[in-house]
């Protein structure tokens, strides 16, 4: 129910009821105005078409609940003005009662801003609409879950027939902490390292590249010797291990 100014609107499938809120200085007989406007409910095919679109497009449902009207829904629903052209009566019994016009005009404004109210008048109240959509989604999810379970069961059955796959072996090795252990043939590999027969280190002549720098060749030979000594120490350490 919407309460703006002094008019209260109650939208139901096929009928809109407009009443006037009481004020402190009103007499009881002044508030004897309840306006009822008849609205033609849309055909079941149209209702099902609307539900189908909303089931397949959750974003449009979100927009609808946020007060926006999707473009495709504009083509299926009559305008708010046309909805208010139906037969109207006032509780006071006066066919020319000013309340009739007041409620029509106010209701037209509210219907233009509230697509859910229009859908309610057309035969799709909010509660029934959401129950239908969420019920379909829930049934679809349950069906997909069953299909996934059937596929998984068939895969397990097929796996039992053909035995474990290489992936299963790797997963088992990783679980047991054996994934990075070398295979049995690793221990059979032997490497023999020995220094070159010619122990003299020969350095290239860098003098042309570093003209004017004294002691180039001497420094180069020192670097080569130190590098060779370090490599030899590492070789001996590895052999001890």
What is the residue extent of each domain of the chain?
Answer: 2-124, 192-240
Distance, in Å, from the CA atom of 203 to the CA atom of 222, rounded to the nearest integer, reads: 10
- Of 232 and 105, more confident: 105
Q: Which runs of E-coded beta strand occur in 28-100?
A: 34-38, 88-90
Its pTM stands at 0.52
The average pLDDT across 94-101 equals 88
Does the pLDDT at position 92 exceed 60? yes
* Helix ranges (DSSP H) in 57-190: 58-65, 71-76, 80-83, 98-113, 115-121, 126-162, 166-175
Examine the pLDDT at 101 and tell me if it is beyond 70: yes
Element (H, E) at 176: none
Residue 124: the pLDDT is: 92
Predicted confidence (pLDDT) at residue 195 exceeds the cutoff of 80: no
Q: Are 122 and 64 a contacting pair, CB within 8 Å?
A: no
Phi first, then psi, for residue 140 (nearest 5°) are -65, -40
Residue 15 pLDDT exceeds 90: yes
Most confident of 3-17, 97-111, 177-191: 97-111
pLDDT band at 1 (very low <50, low <70, confident <90, very high): very low
Per-chain mean pLDDT for the chain: 79
Q: Please say if the pLDDT value at position 218 is more than 90.
A: no
pLDDT exceeds 80 at position 214:
no
β-strand partners of 4: 7
How many Å apart are CA 107 and CA 22, to the nearest integer? 19
């Amino acid at each position: 129910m919407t309460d703006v100014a002094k008019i209260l609107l109650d939208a139901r499938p096929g009928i809109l009821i407009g009443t006037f809120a009481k004020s402190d200085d009103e007499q009881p007989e002044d508030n004897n105005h309840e306006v009822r406007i008849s609205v033609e409910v849309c055909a079941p095919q149209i209702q099902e078409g609307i539900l189908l679109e909303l089931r397949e497009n959750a974003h449009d449902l979100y927009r609808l609940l946020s007060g926006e009207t999707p473009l495709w829904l504009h083509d299926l629903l009559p305008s708010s003005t046309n909805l208010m052209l139906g037969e109207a009566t006032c509780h006071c019994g006066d066919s020319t009662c000013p309340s009739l016009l007041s409620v029509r005009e106010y209701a037209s404004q509210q219907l233009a801003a509230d697509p859910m109210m229009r859908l309610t008048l057309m035969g799709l109240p909010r509660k029934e609409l959401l129950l239908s959509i969420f019920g379909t989604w829930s049934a679809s999810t349950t069906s997909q879950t069953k299909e996934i379970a059937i596929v998984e069961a068939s895969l397990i059955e097929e796996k039992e027939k053909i035995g474990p796959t290489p992936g299963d072996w790797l997963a088992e090795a990783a679980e047991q902490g054996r994934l990075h252990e070398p295979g049995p043939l690793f221990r059979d590999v032997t490497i023999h390292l020995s220094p070159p027969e010619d122990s003299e280190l020969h350095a290239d002549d860098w003098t042309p590249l570093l003209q004017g720098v004294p002691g180039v060749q001497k420094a180069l030979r020192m670097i080569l010797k130190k590098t060779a000594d370090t490599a030899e120490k590492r070789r001996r350490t590895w052999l001890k291990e």
